[in-house]
A and B are shown apart, each in its own frame.
Chain A
Amino acid sequence: AEPFSGGPGVPELILQLLQLEPDEDQVRARIVGCLQDPAKGRPDQPAPFGLLCRMADQTFISIVDWARRCMVFKELEVADQMTLLQNCWSELLVFDHIYRQIQHGKEGSILLVTGQEVELTTVAAQAGSLLHGLVLRAQELVLQLHALQLDRQEFVCLKFLILFSLDVKFLNNHSLVKDAQEKANAALLDYTLCHYPHCGDKFQQLLLCLVEVRALSMQAKEYLYHKHLGNEMPRNNLLIEMLQAKQT
């Protein structure tokens, strides 16, 4: 993990968010444990797609746990918390995947939350054209953010911005959420100006990347729905429940 040191020019909000970041090793261990078959005490071996679905479910559960610990979010009533997460669940999952690939740093393979590395040639051969297309589009964004030198401080702030990216008119507690949005935007702007003064438009470039995260997440939801219609999704799948939930 990238070591963090505080210091001048790191806004308080970003410092707090860094402290809230889950330990990647613990998340990996929990999810690997969940994917094992408790009855037989050995790794479960469903079809790869079914395993990926359960992996995505468990990753989202980790994201919900992170959100519940987040300042402002934890002060909101459950109804507002649900509204926010229903708005951004797929974007948070996509962004989680993107940042893992940036840390992974290999163009020819992707790293799963379980620590498994999958060659892109394997994805091309086994995943089907829709999923392969999604993975390749995500890899383009990884390259873009890598070129922008996205760092951990910016990552946590962007994640927080995604969580609060809904128009406040859909929420009960307008003022708290609006305040969080403004503070996170200001923190990211201050941070990028202070730490990347040679790249004056980094803040705008990062926000533009969030537009692509949104577009990718829409495509991912279309893919999930396609699999759902084809009866290929496991039962009691959390992501399908999120997909079908009433939107704001």
Chain B
Amino acid sequence: PCQGAAGRPAILYALLSPSVRAV
């Protein structure tokens, strides 16, 4: 699966990160 920073799930990171959500 896609992994974000530090092996974290990228989709969840995108859902939580304000900077990503703002895009």
**Interface set of A (CB-CB < 8 Å, partner B):** 61, 64-65, 68, 78-79, 81-82, 85-86, 236, 238, 240-242, 244-246
Contacts and interface: CB of A to CB of B under 8 A. Distances in A.
Nearest to B10: A241
Interface residues of B, number: 14
Contacts of A244: 1, 9
Contacts of B10: 241
B6 to A, nearest CB: 8
B23 interface: no
Contact of A245 (B9, B15, B16, B17): B9
Residue of A81, A82, A244 ringed by the most chain B CB atoms within 10 A: A82
Contacts, number: 47
Main secondary structure of the interface of B (DSSP, over half): helix
Nearest to B2: A241
A1 to B, nearest CB: 25
A246 B3 CA distance: 9
Contacts of B9: 82, 86, 238, 241-242, 244-245
B8 to A, nearest CB: 5
A79 to B, nearest CB: 8
Contact of B15 (A61, A79, A236, A240): A61
B12 interface: yes
Contacts of B11: 236, 238, 241
Given A78-B17, A82-B16, 5 more contacts: A78-B13, A81-B16, A238-B9, A241-B10, A242-B12
B7 A246 contact: yes
A82 B12 contact: yes
B13 to A, nearest CB: 7
A245 B6 CA distance: 10
A238 B7 contact: no
The 3 closest A-B pairs by CB, nearest first: A241-B1, A245-B9, A246-B7
